[in-house]
Amino acid sequence: MDILVIGGGGREHAICWALAKSPKAGKIYCAPGNAGIAQVAEIVPIAVNEFDKLTAFAQEKEVGLVVVGPDDPLADGIVDAFEAKSIPVFGPRKNAAHIEGSKTFMKDLLKKYNIPTAAYEKFDDYEEAKAYLDQQKLPIVIKADGLAAGKGVTVAFTREEAGAALKDIMVGKVFGNAGSQVVIEEFLEGQEMSILAFVDGEVVRPMSAAQDHKQVYDNDKGPNTGGMGTYSPLPHIADSIIDEAVETIIKPTAKAMVAEGRPFRGVLFAGLMISPDGKPKTIEFNARFGDPETQVVLPRLKSDLLEIFLAAVNGTLDKVEIEWSNEAAVCVVLASGGYPATYPKGLPISGLDAAGDALVFHAGTAKNEAGEWITNGGRVLGVVGLGQNIAEARDKAYAAAVRITFEGKHQRSDIAAKALR
């Protein structure tokens, strides 16, 4: 079966890599892909928002399945566009992807169905939002309602920081229309955790839990990014807490979406906070594979990813076998200097052939006219080590990461350190 994967980052590289291991997989296409993805898939130069071109390509090549990676096309209805052409597609329809496309919708849904989350208020008027914000205790969380490439959230520890974030979002429009409405939310303390789940309606099949590192600098300092590194599993979080999160948050949310006439099919990604008393609460929901969570979760999947996708599409997700490896995985993101603000592109990359047995997923790379690897994004590479435990996997990831160099390369040095304390 030929497959078309939509997207062009590290997540899509990991998806293509995992699909290529399936004996049922024929040719894999990736649109628009990147230079690294070209190692496992044929690159198709069509942008993720060109729905007519993508559906026409899928029809021309008679692909048996389309898999959508990024959030923007899901929120804009790419799954509906493929379904309208009777092309099998894995991912949520537009009305279900709204759980990520609008934080206001997501928070209201959780409140309506008594699903644990932080207290919040929503605003579409700047002056009203500012008056409310000035009365709240610190720290406080300010979120742009819409999609902002994982950067629309500010945890403010001072009045000045909170006021500046709100003004940037609602007045400065730094995230465009995504900031027309904001959610101001109670700050939750504890351990963060990500649980991704294969979902088809009320059928929920959780993946192995992971933990992301959102801030750009060590010790969770600096601005939020799309993610600077991840690891899985989480040896310092009890299985009972993970099970509770699935039973009290993810399954009820899938059921609530069905009740709302928005049945979810695809990957439902819960960003969670484990409070000091061990109770999980919802920070956010995403409507797709996380990045870079995918880069540590899929290498631990022993089952056939293509079979799981097809089962979800065909309504048999409850019957497919899903097995996970006991190995640990740690991903260290190598970013361009200046990320998540402005950064240069086109810088030569060396050492990719010296990564040893680590996996290297390409997020922002290209090749120049001479065929040499160059940087082409903020997050350039995800280097993944696998081992019998977190410590061994971490050592492998960092040993490989240090061999890969480009001017201005930035990485955190504390990925997965929480699991070793």
Q: Return the pLDDT at 277.
A: 87
pLDDT surpassing 80 at residue 401: yes
Model confidence over 290-302: pLDDT tens digits? 999 999 999 999 9
Same domain, 302 and 203: yes
Same domain, 369 and 395: yes
Is there a contact between 98 and 164 (Cβ–Cβ < 8 Å)? no
Averaged over 296-309, what is the pLDDT? 98
Instruction: For the chain, give the mean pLDDT.
Output: 96
pLDDT surpassing 80 at residue 149: no
Is there a contact between 386 and 326 (Cβ–Cβ < 8 Å)? no
Q: Is residue 293 part of a domain?
A: yes
Same domain, 11 and 76: yes
Averaged over 1-22, what is the pLDDT? 98
Polymer length of the chain? 421
Same domain, 143 and 196: no
Spatial neighbors of 316 by CB under 8 A, at least 6 apart, are none
pLDDT surpassing 80 at residue 380: yes
Strand partners, 221: 217
pLDDT surpassing 90 at residue 127: yes
pLDDT surpassing 90 at residue 397: yes
Q: What is the value of pTM for the model shown?
A: 0.94
- The whole-angstrom distance between residue 413's C-alpha and the CA centroid of its chain comes to 21
Q: Which of 330, 254, 333 has its CA nearest to residue 296?
A: 330
Model confidence over 311-320: pLDDT tens digits? 999 999 999 9
Q: Is residue 49 part of a domain?
A: yes
Which residue's structure tokens are 């101001």?
Answer: 184
Q: What CATH number is attached to the domain comprising 216? A: 3.30.470.20
Averaged over 247-264, what is the pLDDT? 98
Same domain, 48 and 16: yes
Same domain, 199 and 291: yes
Same domain, 145 and 207: no
Cα–Cα distance, 305 to 326 (Å, whole number): 17
Averaged over 132-161, what is the pLDDT? 90
Domain containing residue 413: 328-420
Q: How many domains does the chain have?
A: 4
Which residue's structure tokens are 């649980």?
Answer: 195
Dihedral in degrees, nearest 10, Cα atoms 305, 308, 314, 316: 160
Averaged over 105-117, what is the pLDDT? 97
Model confidence over 19-56: pLDDT tens digits? 999 999 999 999 999 999 999 999 999 999 999 999 99
Q: What CATH number is attached to the domain comprising 358? A: 3.90.600.10
Q: Is residue 110 part of a domain?
A: no
Per DSSP, helices labelled H in 85-217 are: 94-101, 103-112, 126-133, 159-170
Cα–Cα distance, 354 to 348 (Å, whole number): 15
Q: Return the pLDDT at 415.
A: 98
Which DSSP state fits 171?
A: T
Domain boundary among 186, 217, 239: 186
Same domain, 340 and 390: yes
Q: Is residue 105 part of a domain?
A: no
Domain boundary among 279, 314, 349: 314
Cα–Cα distance, 34 to 224 (Å, whole number): 24
Spatial neighbors of 60 by CB under 8 A, at least 6 apart, are none
Is there a contact between 142 and 153 (Cβ–Cβ < 8 Å)? yes
Cα dist. 152→101, 161, 170, 379 in Å?
12, 14, 11, 17
Cα–Cα distance, 54 to 89 (Å, whole number): 12
Domain boundary among 186, 209, 242: 186
Strand partners, 362: 381
Q: Is residue 306 part of a domain?
A: yes
Give the confidence band of 152 by pLDDT, cuts at 50, 70, 90.
confident
Q: Is residue 334 part of a domain?
A: yes
Percentage of the chain beyond pLDDT 70 is 100
Strand partners, 215: 224
pLDDT surpassing 90 at residue 374: yes
Q: Is residue 373 part of a domain?
A: yes
Give the confidence band of 151 by pLDDT, cuts at 50, 70, 90.
confident
Averaged over 357-377, what is the pLDDT? 97
Per the omega criterion (within 30 degrees of 0), is the bond before 139 cis? yes
Same domain, 307 and 396: no
Same domain, 168 and 209: no
Same domain, 63 and 164: no
Is there a contact between 43 and 30 (Cβ–Cβ < 8 Å)? yes
Q: Is residue 224 part of a domain?
A: yes
Q: Which two tokens stand for residue 257?
A: 């979406």
Q: Return the pLDDT at 263.
A: 98
Averaged over 110-132, what is the pLDDT? 95
pLDDT surpassing 90 at residue 216: yes
pLDDT surpassing 80 at residue 339: yes
Same domain, 204 and 146: no
pLDDT surpassing 80 at residue 150: no
